[in-house]
Amino acid sequence: MDYFKRLSHLLQTEKEEDRRQYESLTSHLPITDRRENGATWYPIAIRDTEIGRGDYLTIEVERTT
């Protein structure tokens, strides 16, 4: 059980670090720069939607610019 507790803690730490890096990358850049470097997809077009297995909604999107 200690293995899974440690793994859960490590995954949470990784998630927090990923979020911190994303926020530091995007907080000071204008949306045009974020679009150019691929950090932001805006605007998008919804191409398809469907209900998949387990009643999960699947949405297919595409960058328009």
- For the full predicted model, state whether its pTM sits above 0.85: no
User: Which of the four pLDDT bands, split at 50, 70 and 90, describes residue 65?
Assistant: confident
pLDDT band at 62 (very low <50, low <70, confident <90, very high): very high
Tens digit of each residue's pLDDT (9 = 90 or more) over 3-42:
999 999 999 999 999 999 989 988 899 988 988 888 888 8
> How far is C-alpha 22 from the geometric centre of its chain's CA atoms?
9
- Alpha helix stretches (DSSP H) within the chain: 2-26, 31-36
pLDDT score of 60 more than 80: yes
C-alpha span between 38 and 17 (Å, rounded): 19
Give how far Cα 26 sits from Cα of 21, 29, 48, 64, Å: 9, 5, 28, 20
Distance (Å, whole) CA 24 – CA 18: 10
